[in-house]
Each structure stands twice: as C-alpha cells, then as structure tokens.
Amino acid sequence: MHYSHKELEAAPQAADSNFQYLLDTYASETNKVVTVWRGFKDADLDYTPHARSSTVVEILKHQLLSERRFFGEFISTPEPAPADVLPGQATVDAYCHRFVELAAQRLEFLAKQSSEWWHVVVPFFDVKRERIWVFWRRVLHTTHHRTQLTVYLRLMDRPVPAVYGPSADEKWEGADPTNTVAAAGRK
C-alpha cells in the first residue's frame, strides 16, 4: 500500500505470534489516520461543513481523547493523564505527532501481552466484552472518524489520499480497483 505519510514503519513483534495481525493492523490504521490528517492545513482546523458537524480540530481532539479512554479504561494499557493527551500546540503537525507517539507506546505494551490477556472479559461502557473485541471496536471507531475527515477534504476540494487502495486523487501502477463486474469476477 502507498501512504503519503508512513510514520510507523512497523509494529513490534508480538509475544504471541497469533496476535501479530492486531499490532500490524493498529500500526497500519495509525498511518492511514495521519495520511488523512496531513491533508489539512493549520488554517483548516476550524472548518466544518455544517453548523451541527464537528470542526476538524474537534475531531482530532476527540480521536486522541477517545483512544486514550478506550485503551486506558477498557483495554487497560498504560496511558497519560487525560490532561496530558492533547498536544501543546493546535497544529496539524502537533496532532499527528502526538497521535503517532501515543500509538507507538500502546504498540510496545500490546506486543508483550499473552493470548489469555487478550481474551479477558472487561467492562465496556454498560456491557462486558473480551479485550480483543474492544480493540476491534476501537479500530472501527477510528475508521469512522478518518472517513468523516476524508469527506471534509472532498468538500474542501482537496485531494483525498489513498488508504485502502487508489482514490480518485491517488493512483499508481499495479493498483487493481474493483469497479466493474468483470473485475469482481477475477480470481
């Protein structure tokens, strides 16, 4: 995959190789988020497409704070105090740097965990779920906000970066999008 901004080169090695895919996915998703965030300029942070929509900076803050809550409260990773999560400066670069920094620390911790640890049932809001389930729920929540911001980029007439394959704005040799019935039938 081609990312405009690949901030995490690779996930650490998982103590239990059966869980390497979790670390690889979280590292990859972190790179995708940063690629989208870097499509904005500092002057765009207050942009919102509608009065009832969040601004770009509100989404960046929410992403950092809600990841801290999911990982700290529900998954039990060591996390900074909530007051220490947001960057000192409100710039796109500062938000990206902080996002990657926190993800790298989580990856180091998660890499050391056993199968038993991943399968412990933990409180998740008003229900109980296995940690691995909560982890995947967090990944899905992150993709929701990343997609929200790609819509903002499109509405601002900015390029939308490729995150799962080519986009209307980013293509490369060898990319094979499935946009036709014939392409869907390839094996």
- CATH classification of the domain holding 47: 1.20.120.450
HSE at residue 103, side-chain half, CA atoms within 13 A, is 30
- Tokens found for residue 184: 């869907």
Number of independent structural domains in the chain: 1
The pLDDT-based confidence of 3 (bands split at 50, 70, 90) is low
Q: Are strands 121-124 and 127-130 parallel, antiparallel or unpaired?
A: antiparallel
Per residue in 121-142, pLDDT tens?
A: 999 999 999 999 999 999 999 9
Residue 130: which residues within 8 A CB-CB, separation 6 or more?
118, 119, 120, 121, 122
Per residue in 33-62, pLDDT tens?
A: 999 999 999 999 999 999 999 999 999 999
Range of the domain at 144: 17-184
120 in any annotated domain: yes
* pTM across the whole model: 0.92
How far apart are the C-alpha atoms of 74 and 131, rounded to whole Å?
7
